Amino acid sequence: MKALEGIKILDFTHVQSGPTCTQLLAWFGADVIKVERPGVGDATRKQLVDVPGADSLYFTMLNHNKRSIELNSKNETGKEVLERLIKTCDVLVENFAPGALDRMGFSWERVHELNPRMIMASVKGFGPGKYEDCKVYENVAQCAGGSASTTGFLDGVPTVTGAQIGDSGTGLHLALGICAALLQREKTGKGQKVLAAMQDGVINLCRVKLRDQQRLKAGPLKEYSQFGEGIPFGDATPRAGNDSGGGQPGRILKCKGWETDPNAYTYFITQAAVWEQICDVIGKPDWKTKEGYATPPERLDKLNEIFERIEQWTMTKTKFEVMDICNPLNIPVGPILSMKEIAEDEGLRETGTIVEVDHPERGAYLSVGCPIKLSDSPVDVVRSPLLGEHTEEILRDVLGYDGDDLERVKSSGAVGEVKAAAE
């Protein structure tokens, strides 16, 4: 049995933010029914195509364990099918541009009227307010959520991160909201609206930067490199390069091979608790007791000198040797892993964090498996559905259409061409 077994999700999501949410719910055991426009489907199916004619990796990696029904939600018969889906499912998840669902005729009021137990969960770019009508993509959210202004180097431009905190991050937030609403429904019997705005999700993940914004009132942020460099602070949290965001100073340092390998680096944290071990490892035992170096506050204006000395040592080792030497001493370090190294990591395959999946159009590909492990709800990653692969199955088995009624829907143009399953 799976954690969300018996829960039916009407998945009206597309692109990345919404699909990450419904993919997680599917991995936890929910039956996720993805509604797609006939003949077109989720736009990502045909974006960044690497195998001509096959669904893109962009799509396949975000839509595992779902069923796909082609349905024109603007056509009369399509609306009838959608109403039945709303009455049958527990949760409707959507990330349309603001107002699109209302224009389709499925406002929250209408959905609630059709099924008072239904939870209606939305990703939007912004919450209520002056920007609520705006369309938003990942990098816009990173910029509007405070991430870009605090990422990058002091002398460089605002920078977006590779981690999709606006899309996948908001999908995670929404999944949590849905699970909470499902639990509340156990007690109240009623559905509710769940909103995860991408700006809010990014702000949530940038919490430490808002912390620093307020700390600025009390003086310079001493753990930032710019303090040791004597560069004055402005009135907003600055970009901090690779400085650690916490109270334990850290930096990215070169390792053996850095001249030719762009990822021959390690993250190194000078955690106060292991300062003595660090001094021994880098060959500076006198720093353990030397005035100006012995305690964390004394060291704050010397971080550049200290990290330069540590780097002289890390440059004599590979990033994995640094890990092997520091870990037994409890010194927190981490190799800068390339995507190639992650793809080839056997440990990540064993835990199911990286999985190989077979697909009828494209063959085997790698994907990220479920990053959250439940001990009593194992995840089997199943390939993403082809467009409309389950249309007939859903009409028949989930919604109970059969005989002439089924033929009426199939010939109405509402569901596209009904195909036999690919496998």
Sign of CA dihedral 231, 237, 242, 243: positive
Sign of CA dihedral 279, 282, 284, 290: negative
Buried b (16+ CB within 10 A) or exposed e, 22-47: bbbbbbbbbbbbbbbbbeebbebbbe
Task: Write out the two tokens for 382.
Answer: 């199943």
Strand ordering across the sheet containing 250-254? 250-254, 265-269, 333-335
Taking CB under 6 A as the rule, does residue 306 contact ligand COA?
A: no
Q: Which residues 69-88 are close enough to bind ligand COA by CB under 6 A?
A: 71-74
Q: Applying CB under 6 A, which part among 3-11, 90-98, 185-193, 370-378 lies near ligand COA? A: 90-98
Taking CB under 6 A as the rule, does residue 110 contact ligand COA?
A: no
Per DSSP, 191 falls in state -
Taking CB under 6 A as the rule, does residue 104 contact ligand COA?
A: yes
Q: Applying CB under 6 A, which part among 16-24, 45-53, 147-155, 257-265 lies near ligand COA? A: 16-24
Taking CB under 6 A as the rule, does residue 63 contact ligand COA?
A: no
Q: How many CA atoms lie within 13 A of 1 on its CB side?
A: 5
Q: Applying CB under 6 A, which part among 66-74, 216-224, 260-268, 384-392 lies near ligand COA? A: 66-74
CB neighbours of residue 110 within 10 Å = 14
Which of 27, 28, 59, 96 is close enough to bind ligand COA by CB under 6 A?
96
Q: Applying CB under 6 A, which part among 55-63, 106-114, 117-125, 366-374 lies near ligand COA? A: 117-125
Given the residues 31, 42, 90, 167, select the one marked as catalytic: 167
The SS3 of residue 263 is coil
From the CB of 74, what's the least distance to ligand COA, in Å? 5
Shortest-Cβ-distance residue relative to ligand COA: 97
**Which residue's CB is nearer to ligand COA, number 104 or number 154?**
104
Taking CB under 6 A as the rule, does residue 119 contact ligand COA?
A: no
From the CB of 118, what's the least distance to ligand COA, in Å? 18
Q: Which residues 150-189 are close enough to bind ligand COA by CB under 6 A?
A: 167
**Which residue's CB is nearer to ligand COA, number 13 or number 270?**
13
Burial level of 143, CB count in 10 A (0-12/13-18/19+)? Answer: middle
Taking CB under 6 A as the rule, does residue 195 contact ligand COA?
A: no
Q: Applying CB under 6 A, which part among 48-56, 93-101, 298-306, 319-327 lies near ligand COA? A: 93-101
Residue count, binding to ligand COA (CB under 6 A): 23
Tell me if 226 sits within 8 A of 233, measured CB to CB.
Answer: yes
Taking CB under 6 A as the rule, does residue 123 contact ligand COA?
A: yes
Per DSSP, 193 falls in state E
Which of 56, 63, 68, 95 is close enough to bind ligand COA by CB under 6 A?
95
From the CB of 209, what's the least distance to ligand COA, in Å? 22
Taking CB under 6 A as the rule, does residue 97 contact ligand COA?
A: yes
**Which residue's CB is nearer to ligand COA, number 18 or number 369?**
18
From the CB of 27, what's the least distance to ligand COA, in Å? 19
From the CB of 16, what's the least distance to ligand COA, in Å? 4
d(Cα 176, Cα 54) in Å, to the nearest integer? 32
Distances (CA, A) of 411 to 48, 68, 197, 416: 33, 18, 39, 9
d(Cα 7, Cα 133) in Å, to the nearest integer? 31
Tell me if 60 sits within 8 A of 387, measured CB to CB.
Answer: no
d(Cα 167, Cα 146) in Å, to the nearest integer? 15
Q: Is 55 annotated as catalytic? A: no
Tell me if 395 sits within 8 A of 406, measured CB to CB.
Answer: yes
Instruction: Tell me which residues touch ligand COA (CB under 6 A).
Output: 15-18, 35, 37, 71-74, 95-97, 100, 103-104, 123-125, 135-137, 167
Active site residues: 167
